[in-house]
């Protein structure tokens, strides 16, 4: 399955989750009504009427629905902060950008390279310091608010290859839409667990009482817990049904990405062979997040297991692996537990990262070969060569710029410097937009950075640099982010001379910031069909065609090639908008709301337009990546394939 098929499958899983949730609610309501009949039927049967009994049953039904609904709404509201809310709930500690701790630095380096290779913003990093087991998770509504968290046990026990395999597995969940499904599942399932939670609370607060009233309350609490057991049963069934297959798909994606099975298989072997395994210390926390963890967070029967059996996962990666080998590993680790750092040194991974040297970046004025089907297959599907290229890109970004991307007071001037125009007149107008919004000091620093570093920065390094800076930018206070978004919008719309890439980069930054401020609101899988956004297609393709072809005739041919790919039966004349790139402000929302499979055809059409002359420059390839990023179709750093 490619990215778009994964997205469509995630939407079907969401629908299935809603259906299962409805069945669970129906089961709980019936159980409560049955308990009401048993407890109160005799009382009302003697002097009451059928109408009184019906009214009582209606009241119990409405009360049960209210408890479930309010519980789910409360939990969903508490998770509006996205992945960070989940990480903090589990006691996670944020990993600083400038950490000097070797294990944390190694984690950050691995995640940075995978983020750049995937074409998504760098996620926030957290460590569960109190957890000695080997585990990890990715949480959030979208890549813009994603969090990757690992346990301290994973940092200390896994070598770099194994850590890379685990992180690649978690990035698969980020890219394929699993995070959105998982975090919503947390909110929904909390509702059907509410009766059990209420029963437990009542038992705790009434323990030791002896009056008749207390006895009645305890009876109600016992009923609530018994009925809550139905919710627990359905909740675990839903999690198992949604999670198990996706874990196998994430393992397969991690192998495709890293192009080696030893890392991921090694991590799974250590989980299977070490005493702590992947079990989290707090069973209650593990229960709620079990479906989003790398390994089983607590012990379940095979019926409720959220993950396939460990031996099965290992054998998918190493078919010849057998239980006897695991027994030998377990015995050896019981005497001498594994140390990830020492293994790195022994394997020669501590400094070099264990990867072969990647090819150099293509020349600035060079060209790459891309086709529409090839680009579609690469959306959110990085491979091993992308990972190696990401390492090369990280090395190519000047050390000073990487340091600035990690500093809260430097990140705004750095990103604005990427948007400044090469034309001195346009740049002066842009400066006049920055000063009243962010101050003279920010404007001057942006211009200094532009002159010293950014003007000559290789086109392939601009998006990765922005990706590294983005999580640091999100740490700024909300009012400052609002002013920065306003400033970005003003800078990229200063006049019609702003380049299409600068416009799209500014729009990408703006989109990511807006989504990160309220992630739950923007987590949507679209449902629109191509026929409903014809004019938006025409506008986008016309702007792209005009930008890549100085000849109007060539531009028209490129436009028609892209249009035929997505709307083969429609004839929309080539008419570049008079306002130029600013006309794109109106197209992003409708196009981003397309059905996942319609988005696939849209990416094909965009690629067809940009590559129509069979010469895709490095700058045009980066433009393609930027446009796809705005439309939530992340492309890896390396579009050309050997």
Task: Give the tens place of pLDDT for each residue, 529-567.
Answer: 888 899 999 999 999 999 888 899 999 999 999 999 999
Q: In three state form, how does the secondary structure of 337-351 look?
A: CCCHHHHHHHHCCCC
Is the residue at 213 inside a domain? yes
* Residue 355 predicted with pLDDT over 50: no
Band (pLDDT 50/70/90 cuts) for residue 261 is confident
Is the residue at 496 inside a domain? yes
Q: Could you tell me the CATH number of the domain that includes residue 167?
A: 3.30.2010.10
Band (pLDDT 50/70/90 cuts) for residue 620 is confident
Domain boundary among 206, 234, 262: 234
At 137 the pLDDT is: 94
- Residue range 244-260: mean pLDDT, rounded: 77
- Residue range 392-420: mean pLDDT, rounded: 91
Looking at the structure, tell me whether residues 107 and 136 fall in a common domain: yes
Q: Which two tokens stand for residue 318?
A: 């190493």
Identify the domain containing residue 48 by its residue range.
3-83+188-234
Residues forming beta bridges with residue 128, ordered by sequence position? 151
Looking at the structure, tell me whether residues 63 and 165 fall in a common domain: no
User: Which of 113, 162, 170, 604 is flagged as catalytic?
Assistant: 170
Band (pLDDT 50/70/90 cuts) for residue 46 is low
| Pairing mode of beta strands 124-128, 93-94 | antiparallel
Is the residue at 290 inside a domain? yes
At 496 the pLDDT is: 65
Q: Which two tokens stand for residue 285?
A: 């926390």
Looking at the structure, tell me whether residues 94 and 74 fall in a common domain: no
pTM above 0.85, yes or no: no
* Residue 430 predicted with pLDDT over 80: yes
At 578 the pLDDT is: 87
At 95 the pLDDT is: 93
By mean pLDDT, which of 211-225, 314-328, 490-504, 533-547 is the weakest?
A: 211-225
Is the residue at 406 inside a domain? yes
Looking at the structure, tell me whether residues 570 and 538 fall in a common domain: yes
Is the residue at 531 inside a domain? yes
- Does 318 qualify as catalytic in the annotation? no
Looking at the structure, tell me whether residues 135 and 192 fall in a common domain: no
- Residue range 184-205: mean pLDDT, rounded: 76
Looking at the structure, tell me whether residues 270 and 155 fall in a common domain: yes
Per-residue pLDDT tens digits for 605-616: 999 999 888 878
Band (pLDDT 50/70/90 cuts) for residue 213 is low
Residues above pLDDT 90, as percent of the chain: 29
Looking at the structure, tell me whether residues 440 and 372 fall in a common domain: no
- CB-CB contact of 376 with 602 (8 Å): no
Looking at the structure, tell me whether residues 322 and 394 fall in a common domain: no
* Residue 354 predicted with pLDDT over 50: no
| The most confident of 276-280, 358-362, 412-416, 520-524, by mean pLDDT | 412-416
Looking at the structure, tell me whether residues 535 and 561 fall in a common domain: yes
* Residue 50 predicted with pLDDT over 50: yes
At 353 the pLDDT is: 43
Distance set, CA 441 to CA 268, 412, 450, 475, 485 (Å): 51, 11, 14, 20, 18
Is the residue at 306 inside a domain? yes
By mean pLDDT, which of 69-78, 100-109, 220-229, 433-442 is the weakest?
A: 220-229
Residues forming beta bridges with residue 126, ordered by sequence position? 94, 149
Looking at the structure, tell me whether residues 436 and 576 fall in a common domain: no
Name which of 576, 591, 580 is nearest 534 in CA terms: 591
Per-residue pLDDT tens digits for 5-31: 666 666 666 677 677 778 888 888 888
Is the residue at 353 inside a domain? no
Name which of 172, 284, 193, 181 is nearest 241 in CA terms: 181
User: CA angle 393-176-562, nearest 5°?
Assistant: 75
Looking at the structure, tell me whether residues 18 and 113 fall in a common domain: no
Looking at the structure, tell me whether residues 414 and 491 fall in a common domain: yes
Is the residue at 640 inside a domain? no
Residues above pLDDT 70, as percent of the chain: 89
Number of separate domains in the chain:
4
Domain boundary among 456, 485, 500: 500
């Amino acid at each position: 399955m490619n990215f778009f098929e994964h997205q469509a499958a995630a939407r079907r899983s969401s629908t299935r989750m809603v259906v299962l949730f409805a069945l669970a609610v129906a089961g709980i309501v019936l159980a409560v009504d049955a308990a009401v009949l048993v407890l109160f039927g005799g009382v009302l049967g003697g002097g009451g009427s059928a109408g009184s009994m019906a009214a009582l049953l209606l009241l119990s039904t409405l009360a049960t629905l209210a408890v479930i609904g309010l519980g789910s709404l409360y939990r969903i509201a508490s998770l509006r902060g996205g992945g960070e809310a989940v990480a903090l709930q589990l006691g996670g500690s944020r990993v600083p950008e400038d950490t000097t701790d070797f294990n944390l630095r190694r984690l950050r380096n691995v995640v940075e390279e995978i983020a750049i290779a995937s074409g998504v913003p760098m996620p926030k990093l957290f460590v569960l310091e109190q957890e000695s087991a080997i585990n990890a998770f990715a949480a959030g509504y979208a890549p813009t608010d994603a969090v990757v968290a690992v346990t301290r046990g994973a940092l200390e026990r896994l070598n770099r290859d194994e850590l890379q395999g685990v992180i690649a597995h978690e990035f698969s969940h980020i890219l394929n839409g699993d995070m959105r499904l998982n975090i919503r599942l947390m909110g929904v399932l909390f509702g059907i667990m509410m009766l059990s939670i209420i029963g437990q609370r009542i038992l705790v607060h009434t323990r030791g009482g002896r009056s008749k009233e207390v006895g009645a309350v305890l009876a109600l609490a016992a009923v609530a817990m018994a009925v809550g057991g139905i919710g627990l049963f359905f909740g675990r069934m839903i999690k198992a049904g949604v999670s198990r297959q996706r874990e196998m798909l994430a393992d397969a994606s991690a192998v495709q990405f890293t192009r080696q099975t030893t890392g991921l298989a090694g991590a799974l072997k250590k989980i299977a062979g070490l005493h702590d395994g992947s079990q989290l210390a707090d069973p209650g926390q593990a229960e709620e997040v079990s479906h989003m963890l790398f390994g089983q967070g607590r012990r379940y029967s095979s019926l409720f297991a959220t993950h396939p059996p460990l031996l099965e996962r290992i054998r998918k990666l190493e078919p010849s692996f057998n239980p006897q080998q695991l027994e030998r590993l377990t015995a050896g680790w019981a005497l001498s537990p594994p140390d990830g750092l020492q293994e790195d040194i022994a394997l020669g991974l501590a400094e070099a990262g264990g990867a072969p040297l990647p090819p150099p970046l293509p020349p600035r004025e060079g060209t790459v070969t891309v086709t529409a089907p090839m680009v579609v297959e690469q959306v959110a599907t990085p491979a091993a060569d992308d990972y190696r290229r990401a390492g090369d890109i990280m090395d190519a970004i000047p050390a000073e710029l990487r340091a600035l991307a990690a500093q809260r007071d430097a990140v705004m001037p750095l990103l604005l410097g990427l948007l400044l125009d090469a034309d001195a007149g346009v740049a002066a107008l842009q400066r006049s937009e920055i000063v009243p919004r962010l101050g003279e000091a920010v404007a001057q620093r942006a211009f200094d950075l532009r002159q010293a570093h950014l003007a000559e920065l290789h086109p392939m390094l601009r998006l990765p640099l922005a990706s590294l800076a983005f999580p640091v930018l999100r740490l700024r206070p909300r009012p400052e982010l609002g002013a920065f978004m306003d400033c970005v919008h003003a800078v990229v719309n200063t006049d019609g001379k702003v380049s299409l890439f600068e416009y799209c980069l500014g729009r990408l930054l703006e989109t990511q910031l807006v989504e990160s401020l309220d992630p739950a609101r923007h987590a949507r899988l679209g449902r629109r069909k191509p026929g409903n956004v014809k004019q938006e297609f025409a506008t986008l393709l016309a702007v792209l065609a005009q930008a890549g072809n100085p000849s109007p005739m060539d531009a028209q041919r490129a436009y028609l090639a892209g249009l035929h790919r997505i709307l083969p039966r429609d004839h929309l004349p080539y008419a570049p908008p008079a306002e130029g790139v600013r006309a794109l402000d109106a197209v992003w929302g409708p196009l981003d709301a397309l059905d996942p499979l319609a988005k696939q055809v849209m990416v094909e059409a965009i690629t067809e337009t940009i590559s129509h002359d069979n010469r895709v420059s490095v700058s045009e390839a980066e433009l393609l990546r930027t446009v796809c990023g705005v439309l939530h179709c992340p492309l890896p750093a390396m579009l050309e394939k050997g």
